[in-house]
Structure 1
Amino acid sequence: MTVVKFIIIGSGNIASAYFSAITNIGQAEVVGIVSSKTIKPKPLNNLPFFKSLKDVKIDFDAIVVCTPNGLHHVSTIEAATLKKHVLCEKPIDISLESIDKMIKACKVNNVKLGVAYQRRFSSDNPVVKNLIDENKIGKIFSVDLAVKNYRDQAYYDSADYRGKYKIDGGGPFIQQACHYIDLYYWFFGKPTNLVSKLGTFVHNIEVEDHGAVICVHDSGMIGTITASTATKPGFPAKMEIYTSKGYIILENDVITQWGIEGMANPSIKINQPETNKHTGASNAFVNDTTNHETVIKDFIQAIELDTNPLVTGESAKNATEIILDIYKSQF
């Protein structure tokens, strides 16, 4: 079994989560960190630190991009030119131009580009995806997605880029809710039209901290998306799906209510609700790396078998496109 050697780019909270996830996988290891920070988080203390990717003189196979959103393209393109594979933290980036450059660089240099939208692997989400793809739950006419998180002002004050468009790219739609907007796309495709209303209500920031969107799809389906970092104390992410045969309600990726005619609840987590587990609703720390481990295993398999990871750059681009449309379509 080949051990894939990773360099993590960035040394914030999410870098520590990736270090833990990779350490838990037998066929992977972290061999170094690239960061401009002088203070090292405790889990990363014993690893070699480098100021830039070009300074790395040890052997490695791939990078994990854990820099702020709008800088993802920088490390991705640099790694691709070095013929190294790239696993990028969400969102893939904040502009379509940068995303296209990332995808092109990885293709030209024949390296893998995967994106950590791990909700696609989480709990009952693959089950629901299969039911939708196999047209087993009837015609979907309504979907309501609510990602109602809370972040205090200290979160936004913790770094100069937070709460600003230039690097963060926006507020909760592109930061906290992008996981579920990717899931919305994965389930239902991109809306053909949408209209949004966003505002800043409880924080001193440049970007939105709360907003709502109405989406219309070619199928006639009407969707709503609410995203927030203003809703105390933070609530489980919730998706309600209504069809000609009934309804499905998911909370934190678990089917908590099931009402599809003639079909038993197919939840793999039935009688094991996870809605009280920490999922980022009230703070940014990642305590459970199970889904990250699944993403990394999938990415390693793509490298070894020369296949595509589940979430490619092209696929991840769709979530950013929807989010950018949300920002453009305010009334």
Structure 2
Amino acid sequence: MKNNPIKFVIIGAGNIANTYISAIENMPHAEIVAVVSKRLASPSKQKDLPAFASLKAVNLDFDAVIICTPPGLHHTSAIEAASLGKHVLCEKPLDVTLEAMNNMIATCKAHKVHLAVAYQRRYSSDNPVVKQLIDNDMLGTIFSVDLSVKNYRDDSYYNSAPYRGTKAIDGGGPFVQQASHYIDLYYWYFGKPSKISSKLNTFIHDIEVEDHGVAICFHDSGMIGTITASTATKPGFPAKLEIYTSKGYVILENDVITHWDIEGLENPTTQNSNLNTHTGAANALVEDTTNHEFIINDFVEAINTNRPPLITGASAKHASEIILDIYSSQF
């Protein structure tokens, strides 16, 4: 790895920008040199960062950007950065329309820069162990999967910014926001459904998108999955993934195996089931930056060794495609 740290510009000055600042503070091979904010505001975590109104206005040397703007604006920043020859690390989701995502991927490819997406749950706690077991056909025939991401957000959350709870900029409600990480995990484990049927509604918030819904996912293998996503379920609950197979079952909560009964296999977890990790169930703040550090470390190594990042734009696009299918498959 090069001795000189990779220099980042953060685009956006909200809460998630503070998470990246905290993560990079622990990383000697990365540094943040500036922030781009239309309000010329620096994130609260690092008020002394030079602030610029646009990426083209940044008059400092930098190698890459971290996009922390609302989802429907991700493509604008990614395309601009790639056009300047800068690598792109994008907060989830990749974007909220197929056209925007395709343009992001194509522009980064054309300018030979890396595009990575922060779907760090793939490498959190027990998740990679379960992935390996699935890929090696160790769990038996998987016939049923239930994913539940039951969060709660009060009105102050949706009132904190005018774009929250909007279709154009937020992209939708809890499916594209709070459940996006776990829908990416669902794709990573089981692939994309061949058919989806969903029912969504708005129950307790004054927003234009859903605050609760359920999707039934049908797979070519015969597996049937359900995905529940909510910001209406008080007080907010740990994300739960239940996997039922011909050999038994596995249940994960907050990425940790909490229940295990698979014939012939011992529980592989090394995690504490009471592990205090960020769940997002009751609020949007992220205090533990371990998973973000993993993603940034991988991205820095990808830049320095010119290899693809672990989670490319093309890979991350699949989760957004599932979410778009959920939104378009309501009955």
Contact 2:42 2:50 in 1 (8 A): no
Matched, 1:267 2:269: yes
- For the residues of structure 1 that align with 2:270 and 2:94, how far apart are their CA atoms? 29
Q: Deviations over 1:296-325 (max 9, x none)?
A: 001111111111111101011101100000
Deviation, structure 1 residue 91 = 0.3
Q: How does 1:7-18 map to 2 (within 5 A)?
A: 7-18=9-20
Q: Which whole-Å CA distance do the structure 1 matches of 2:48 and 2:18 have between them?
A: 12
Considering only aligned residues, what root-mean-square deviation do their CA atoms show, in Å? 0.9
Contact 1:236–1:275 (8 Å) recurs in 2: no
| Equivalence for 2:290 | 290
Aligned to 1:325: 325
Alpha-carbon deviations, 1:143-171, whole Å to 9, x = none? 00000000001111111111110100100
Distance 1:111 1:167 in 2: 25
**Paired residue secondary structure (2:226):** strand
The answer to whether the 8 A contact 1:251-1:275 is kept is no
TM-score by structure 2 length? 0.98
The DSSP-based 3-state class of the residue aligned with 2:101 is: helix
Partner of 2:100: 98
User: Residue 141 in 1 paired to residue 143 in 2?
Assistant: yes
Runs of 4+ in 1 over 4 A off after TM superposition: none
1:36 alignment partner, one of 30, 35, 38? 38
Identical columns (%) = 66
- Matches of 2:274 and 2:297 in 1, distance apart? 23
Distance 1:40 1:114 in 2: 24
Inter-partner Cα distance in structure 2 for 1:61 and 1:246: 48
Answer with 137-146 or 304-313: which moved more. Answer: 304-313
Q: How many residues align?
A: 329
In structure 2, runs of 5+ residues without a counterpart are none
SS state at 2:222 partner: coil
The residue that corresponds to 2:167 in the other structure is 165
Partner residue of 2:204? 202
Gaps of 5+ in 1: none
Separation (CA, whole Å) in 2 of partners of 1:277 and 1:111: 32
Counterpart check, 1:62 vs 2:64:
yes
SS of residue paired to 2:288: coil
CA distance in 2, matches of 1:278, 1:294: 15
Is the CA contact (8 Å cut-off) linking 1:236 and 1:281 kept in structure 2? yes
